Amino acid sequence: MKVITYGTFDLFHKGHYNILKRAKELGDYLIVGVTSESYDKARGKLNVTQSLVERIENVKNSGLVDEIIVEEYTGQKIEDIKKYDIDLFVIGSDWLGKFDYLKEYCDVVYLDRTKGVSSTQLRNQEHGILNIGCIGAGRIAKRMIRESKYVSGINFDVVYGRNEDKIKEFATQNELNIYTTDFDELLDNCDAVYIATPHTTHYEFAKKALLAKKHVLCEKPMTLSESQTRELFEIARQNDVVLFEAIKTAYAPAFQRLIILAKSGVIGNIKDVDATFTKLVTDKSLREYDKSIGGGSLNELITYPLIAIFKLLGTDYRNIDFNSFFDEETGIDIYTKVSIQYDDAIASGNVGLGVKKEGELIVAGTHGYIYVPAPWWKTEYFEVRFENQNLNEKYFFKFDEDGLRYELVEFYNSIVKNTNNIFIKDEESIAISKVIEEFSKNHYQ
């Protein structure tokens, strides 16, 4: 029986070996397809550390493989199955259901993923596996773990929460080795933490993790208080660990290009930034409508408009004003317009959970403007427009799935490769918390 499997096989580890070993045991002849650099990029696989030659050599040295081929394009699996007369396709269970379409051509088996691949041996390698503990088991946490499959060097193996039944189910669904209601146990089993809990808990969890010398990737907003966010960055510096705020837009390739273009002077002096992010949430039982845990349109969504405004105009604004509509039943703001005045520019951010508006970003300058259509926070296309339309230019960039993989790459690089976070400055995260705190003081107290 001929068996085939595929993978990137970057930073070859115990999990890779076990998949190959079990695949080999299912047949008489094992063929392994190793992905090329260009195919990895095309399918959104980021941060691959080793070259194709190195990865092929790693697979070869396992001693389990009869033949190695290179996977270079979408659709090649079907062609390979036909070409090599394959009887069985094998892949890890983290891709469960993804390759069912191949059952028309051969049998398909999903093998359980090897848990706990982030061993001490691997962590001590120059560019080893970064084992991240997940704090929280909600919607965004599920998406983050799914996105982590596309980032080489990242492994989620443990989840912490206060509801044992919920985190047990989460661990099972996402094939995590450990679930715990003991925060110290979480810290003992990871190099870094990802915080995906309600906004009001971020400060507590981040502080404990930083003091334990764990790196922290914290969902936005980092905290609801300027002083708390400032304190967290100071603790991170004192303990020589990395602290990132997870505003995915800031790490996206197209958004970075947009910022560079705008600040290069291509549209002249920037005079106005107008950004809108609204989404209709009708279920009032969700946390977005719970004022006690930081719900509300501004707390939930303003980080996106503010990161665009602060990136383009800076954090040294002169005045800020808020205008809102509130839900009578829950007391949260269902729509808020934030108006910001600078010495030589103005800006506005519009956010809503109960009011819908076109989600576009417009950066206005003295020579022209930049237009980003909805949803601008998933920037993959924008236009630079001028009075003379013949000079207009369009820019296209890839934005994969939820876009969370981009922040994971930079988080990893900052820790393992010692790069600086140029995507969100400390003062920008602090300024975002300051705006949120000021709104809360004026409207919720």
Who wins on pLDDT, 442 or 312?
Answer: 312
Instruction: For residues 268 and 229, state if they share a domain.
Output: no
Instruction: For residues 175 and 263, state if they share a domain.
Output: no
For the cut 50, the answer to whether the pLDDT of residue 123 exceeds it is no
Instruction: For residues 281 and 394, state if they share a domain.
Output: yes
Mean pLDDT of 359-386: 96
Residue range of the domain that includes 28: 2-111
Does 442 map to a domain? no
Does 89 map to a domain? yes
Does 146 map to a domain? yes
Instruction: For residues 258 and 385, state if they share a domain.
Output: yes
Please identify, among 367, 382, 399, the residue that sits at the C-terminal boundary of a domain. 399
Does 229 map to a domain? yes
Rounded Cα distance between 94 and 112, Å, is 8
Instruction: For residues 286 and 308, state if they share a domain.
Output: yes
Mean pLDDT of 161-179: 94
Does 404 map to a domain? no
Mean pLDDT of 95-119: 80
Please identify, among 43, 78, 111, the residue that sits at the C-terminal boundary of a domain. 111
User: What CATH number corresponds to the domain at position 133?
Assistant: 3.40.50.720
Q: What is the pLDDT of residue 317?
A: 98
Q: Measuring CA to CA, which residue among 90, 78, 93 is closest to residue 31? A: 90
Please identify, among 111, 139, 156, the residue that sits at the C-terminal boundary of a domain. 111
**Band of pLDDT at residue 106, cut at 50, 70 and 90:** very high
Instruction: For residues 395 and 268, state if they share a domain.
Output: yes
Instruction: For residues 36 and 173, state if they share a domain.
Output: no
Instruction: For residues 104 and 225, state if they share a domain.
Output: no
Kindly state the percentage of the chain with pLDDT values over 70.
96
Average pLDDT, the chain: 92
How does pLDDT run across 192-249, given as a tens digit for each residue? Answer: 999 999 999 999 999 999 999 999 999 999 999 999 999 999 999 999 999 999 999 9
Instruction: For residues 274 and 231, state if they share a domain.
Output: no
Does 154 map to a domain? yes
Q: Measuring CA to CA, which residue among 169, 151, 119, 127 is closest to residue 15? A: 119
Mean pLDDT of 84-113: 91
Q: How many domains does the chain have?
A: 3
**Band of pLDDT at residue 125, cut at 50, 70 and 90:** very low
User: What CATH number corresponds to the domain at position 270?
Assistant: 3.30.360.10
For the cut 90, the answer to whether the pLDDT of residue 340 exceeds it is yes
End-to-end CA distance of the chain: 70
Mean pLDDT of 118-141: 71
Q: What is the pLDDT of residue 115?
A: 56
pTM over 0.85: no
Bridge-partner residues for 75, per DSSP? none
How does pLDDT run across 379-394, given as a tens digit for each residue? Answer: 899 999 999 999 999 9
How does pLDDT run across 48-72, given as a tens digit for each residue? Answer: 878 888 899 989 999 999 999 999 9
Does 62 map to a domain? yes
Q: What is the pLDDT of residue 114?
A: 60
Instruction: For residues 125 and 166, state if they share a domain.
Output: yes
For the cut 60, the answer to whether the pLDDT of residue 445 exceeds it is no
Mean pLDDT of 148-160: 92
How does pLDDT run across 279-289, given as a tens digit for each residue? Answer: 999 999 999 99
Instruction: For residues 208 and 181, state if they share a domain.
Output: yes
Q: What is the pLDDT of residue 444?
A: 61
Instruction: For residues 89 and 143, state if they share a domain.
Output: no
Does 83 map to a domain? yes
